[in-house]
């Protein structure tokens, strides 16, 4: 029984949809021998349009499932879920390590040349008290222009990474940052690096883009003690497994993992 428990040790990773694959990609590179389980809550994506109560409820149900499957470390690969749920999850499971995903205000302050930073985020992250506290704690004298970006995640979830409509939407959301004269911009959603060239084109070549996925994966790797488990990757979704598998194959080029339906519903 103890051996079975050891071999089932996993790192659980979740996001509202496909954005967290940017974190999972880094985790696979850093921890090639680890058992990883990723849950995409695509039936409820995007979280950025949902209430804090809904986000906490979904995050709690997902965490319960990941723990049942053997997760001994949870990576919340979603800025919005981190902003609205991580404290509640830590309070419910105080002995379980959680790694959240938050905009890197400190690295942006270090990178900016003119003291004007842009933050592109989901509406829920942009409106969160946790983000306001993060800015107050780390921004110092720098100005942070926060821009909520409704609609972006919907395009990415649908596999649209470069349409004319998406480019126009990205340009629209970037206009306040351009008007403010930002020289550094944070991609405050794990979905957003999947269309990084579009953000760069809209903001201009003089704006430095920063995102946080590698740092999140490194933090998880620091907390993970490798054991006797065999490497594995399990992918689950609350939505359509065939659609998610097609997305994974086309965008990430991963052909080996199966995608299973997570049956739990609230």
Distance CA 123, CA 10 (A): 32
What total of structural domains would you count in the chain?
2
Please provide residue 191's backbone torsions phi and psi, each rounded to the nearest 5 degrees.
Answer: -70, -35
Residue 165 lies in a domain: yes
Residues 124 and 193 in one domain: yes
Query: Could you tell me the residue range of the domain that residue 170 belongs to?
Result: 105-211
Q: Which of 171, 194, 211 is the last residue of a domain?
A: 211
Residues 63 and 188 in one domain: no
pLDDT beneath 70: ranges in the chain = 1-7, 264-266
Q: Could you tell me the sign of the dihedral formed by the alpha carbons of 139, 145, 148, 149, in that order?
A: negative
Question: For residue 230, what pLDDT is reported?
Answer: 85
Write out the two tokens for 127: 């409106």
Q: Would you call 189 a catalytic residue per the annotation?
A: yes
Residue 9 lies in a domain: yes
Residues in the chain: 266
Question: For residue 209, what pLDDT is reported?
Answer: 97
Question: For residue 261, what pLDDT is reported?
Answer: 95
184 assigned binding-site residue? no
**What CATH number is given to the structural domain containing 230?**
3.40.50.1860
Q: Would you call 174 a catalytic residue per the annotation?
A: no
Question: For residue 1, what pLDDT is reported?
Answer: 34
pTM: 0.90
Residues 115 and 200 in one domain: yes
Residues 28 and 95 in one domain: yes
164 assigned binding-site residue? no
Question: For residue 7, what pLDDT is reported?
Answer: 58
44 assigned binding-site residue? no
Q: Could you tell me the sign of the dihedral formed by the alpha carbons of 227, 15, 40, 167, in that order?
A: negative
What are the beta bridge partners of residue 143? 116
Question: For residue 4, what pLDDT is reported?
Answer: 52
Residue 266 lies in a domain: no
Question: For residue 226, what pLDDT is reported?
Answer: 83
Taking the CA atoms of residue 253, residue 255, residue 258 and residue 262 in that order, the dihedral angle to the nearest 10 degrees is 10
């Amino acid at each position: 029984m103890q051996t079975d428990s050891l071999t089932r040790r996993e790192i659980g990773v979740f996001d509202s949809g496909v954005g967290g694959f940017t974190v999972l990609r880094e985790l696979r590179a850093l921890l090639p021998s680890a058992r990883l389980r990723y849950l995409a809550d695509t039936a409820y994506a995007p979280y950025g349009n949902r209430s804090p109560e809904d986000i906490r409820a979904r995050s709690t149900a997902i965490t319960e499932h990941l723990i049942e499957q053997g997760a001994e470390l949870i990576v919340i690969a979603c800025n919005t879920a981190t902003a609205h749920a991580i404290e509640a999850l830590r309070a419910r499971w105080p002995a379980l390590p959680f790694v959240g995903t938050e905009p890197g205000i400190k690295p942006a302050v270090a990178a900016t040349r003119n003291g004007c930073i842009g933050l592109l985020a989901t509406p829920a992250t942009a409106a969160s008290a946790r983000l306001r506290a993060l800015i107050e704690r780390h921004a110092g004298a720098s100005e942070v222009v926060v821009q909520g970006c409704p609609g972006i995640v919907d395009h990415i979830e649908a596999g649209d990474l470069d349409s004319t409509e998406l480019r126009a939407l990205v340009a629209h959301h970037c206009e306040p940052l351009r008007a403010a004269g930002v020289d550094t911009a944070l991609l405050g959603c794990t979905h957003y690096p999947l269309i990084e060239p579009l953000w760069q084109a809209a903001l201009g070549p003089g704006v430095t883009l920063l995102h946080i996925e590698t740092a999140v994966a490194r933090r998880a790797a620091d907390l993970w003690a490798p054991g006797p488990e065999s490497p594995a990757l399990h992918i689950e979704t609350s939505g359509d497994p065939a659609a998610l598998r097609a997305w994974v194959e086309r965008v990430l080029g991963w052909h080996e993992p199966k995608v299973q339906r997570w049956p739990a519903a609230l």
